Structures are given as C-alpha cells and as structure tokens.
Amino acid sequence: MTKPNVVPLAVAAAFGAGLAICSKYVLKLQKKKPLRVLITGAAGQIGYALAPQVAVGSMLGADQPIILHLLDVEPAKNALEGLRMELVDGAYPLLEGVLTFTDVAAACKGVDVAVMVGGYPRKAGEERKDVMAKNVSIYQQQASALEANASKDVKVVVVANPANTNALILAENAPSIPRENITCLTRLDHNRALGQVAERTGSHVGSVKNVIIWGNHSSTQYPDVNHGTVAGKPIRAVVNDDTWLNGDFITTVQQRGAAIIKARGLSSALSAANAVCNHVRDWVRGTPSGSWTSMGVVSDGSYGVQRGLVYSYPVTCSGGKWKVVQGLPIDGPSRERLRVTEAELVEERDLALQCLAEKK
C-alpha cells in the first residue's frame, strides 16, 4: 500500500490558507470606500514622482483604495495622459481609478485630499509682486473650486512656492473649508534636517526624532535641534559640535533645494513627493507616540506668532487632527530666528493681500 503523500497535502493546506488570507484582504479592500486624491500640476516632476507613491499606499496606507484626480493646464494634456497610461500599466492593486482634468472645478469634485503642486514659479527678471499676483489668481480660482466641489472635510496640503503664502491665499478664499484643514509642506525641510543629523552622527535616520522646522518654507526657516534626540539622547550631545549645529547645519537645510538644483539641474521631486506622503499619512493616520513632525498650519498665536499666518510648527497628529506642541522652551537665539522668519511671512502676506485688493 502506498504511503500518503504528506508533503503535498501540507503544501496544499498552506496554499489554501494563504488564499483564504488573500481573499480576506481583497474583501477588506473592496469593502473600504476609496478616497479621492487630487494632485494639481500633476504632469510635472513632483506629480510624476508622487502619483505612484500614492498608488502603492505610501500616503494613506496599504489598506486604503484610491482614485486619483490629476489636474494640469491644457498645454500639458498629452503629458497628463501619458502619466495616466503609466499608472494603468502599473497595475496597482489599491488604484481603483485615474481621472485626468484640465478644468479645476471638475478635478475638485468629491476629493478627500488635495495636493496643490501647481503654481507659477518665479522666472529670471520677474519681480516678486508679479509672481505673487499670478499665484494669487491661481489660488483664488483653486480655492473657489475646492470650496464648491471637494469633500466638506477635504484635507489640503500646498506644495507650490511660496507655499505658506499660497496656503494663506487659499484659506482666505475658501472660508467654508475649516482653517485647520489647510496646510503647507515643510515636511521636506523636516526630513532634510533628520537626514543631516543622521549623516553627521552615522546613525540610522529612524533613530533621529523631534527636530523642528519653524516658520516659512524659505531660506529664513529655522531648523531647530534643541528638542531632538538620536537614539533617545539629545542631538546636541551626540553631535557634540555646536558650531556645526548653529551654522552649517542650518544653512545646509535652508539652502538644500538650491543645492539640489545646482547638482542635478532640476528641483527636488522624489524627496518632495516622499515628504508629501509623509505629511498626509501622519495627518490622517497619526504621528508615532513620543514623536512630532513639522507642518505649516494657520497660526493660533502659539509661541507669539501672529494669528492667521501660515507658519511651520512642531505638531502631533491623531484622529485626522493636528495639534501644535506647546510649552517647549525657546532660547534667545532661537526666539530671534522665529521672529525673522515670521517677519518674512508678514511681508509676503501683505503683498498677497495687496494683490487681492488690486484684483477687486
């Protein structure tokens, strides 16, 4: 009598169990309502890097189905279609649909997350006021479209520079969207600070926590390590070089974008896309216990910053809400850096409001 073939039976049992687990996972995905994610300026470098990261779950999680809304201007229509084709060819399990638009109102219909990458970049020979006026016009239109068409709890992150002031313009022109739902991206600067400390100390970047980016997403921003740690020890103690931390570290983070343009001839795209996903993921799914991140949010007056400015603070996130970390001691030199970057934001705000007034 032939002995039962035990190994194939065991393999079959394991295979069956695996199929059952996969089936449950697929059913779970099918039961979860897809979220609609808008990317403006989607045919550009950042959009090209960002869309697949959203599609694989880097932004909203590996269990969240997605429908992408990709928006760009009419001249970019063919490039936008090419991106849509590549996303279809990627066969991403989470991606339930890819829609392309050149009309902003249609693109905003029902979106749950809006990533505002599109904007007017400053060109050689252009005055700041001219650039600001163009961005005021763009963000007025996009604010109106979001307010009229997006989900009532839409979460907005502005990436296009000047990011803080573009977010302020959007907030001013979309009064029915809760102010706390309009943010700008300083997570890229935050990640750059983490990377610099990790590289300097020879540590894994995951062991570096609680750096802060204060203020504007510009060369006046203040990358602050005074409350941060490396493997649980104060950054200043581990680095053991205050001259570097108070000098080259700060300027390297402040000017990293320009350094990347000089090195590759193009602006940051991959790291910016990753930072957008980090920003939204922490906002929606929560920051890890004991950690904070940096986000540009509408100031409530915390740390003496003027109310209403879109200012980067340390925040924790839980239940889809952010909260400014309160009570951190701020030394004299740090206080002055917070004031300098605030002053720049006040200047930008006043210029933007002047442009708004002139349009009326």
135 is in an annotated binding site: yes
Annotated binding-site residue? 285: no
Separation CA 203–CA 211 (nearest Å): 15
- Mean pLDDT across the chain: 91
Lowest average pLDDT, out of 64-78, 123-137, 200-214, 227-241, goes to: 123-137
Q: Which amino acid is at 293?
A: T
pLDDT of residue 16: 52
C-alpha separations of 350 from 152, 154, 279, 300 in Å: 29, 27, 27, 18
- Is 90 exceeded by the pLDDT of residue 40? yes
Query: Would the pLDDT of 1 be above 60?
Result: no
Phi (first) and psi of residue 175, to 5 degrees = -65, -20
Query: Residue 185 gets which letter from DSSP?
Result: -
User: Which CATH superfamily is 35-184 part of?
Assistant: NAD(P)-binding Rossmann-like Domain (3.40.50.720)
Q: Is 246 annotated as a binding residue?
A: no
Q: Is the pLDDT of residue 139 over 70?
A: yes
**C-beta atoms surrounding 237 within 10 Å:** 9
Please tell me which residue in 190, 217, 227, 279 is annotated as part of the active site. Answer: 217
Average pLDDT, stretch 73-94? 98
Query: What type of residue is 260?
Result: I
- Tell me the CATH number for domain 186-348: 3.90.110.10
Q: What is the pLDDT of residue 202?
A: 98
In this prediction, residue 30 carries a pLDDT of 54
45 is in an annotated binding site: yes
Looking at the predicted structure, is the pLDDT value of residue 19 above 70? no
217 is catalytic: yes
Which pLDDT belongs to residue 106?
A: 98
Structural domain boundaries of the chain? 35-184, 186-348
Q: Looking at the predicted structure, is the pLDDT value of residue 208 above 90?
A: yes
Which one has a higher pLDDT value, 132 or 74? 74
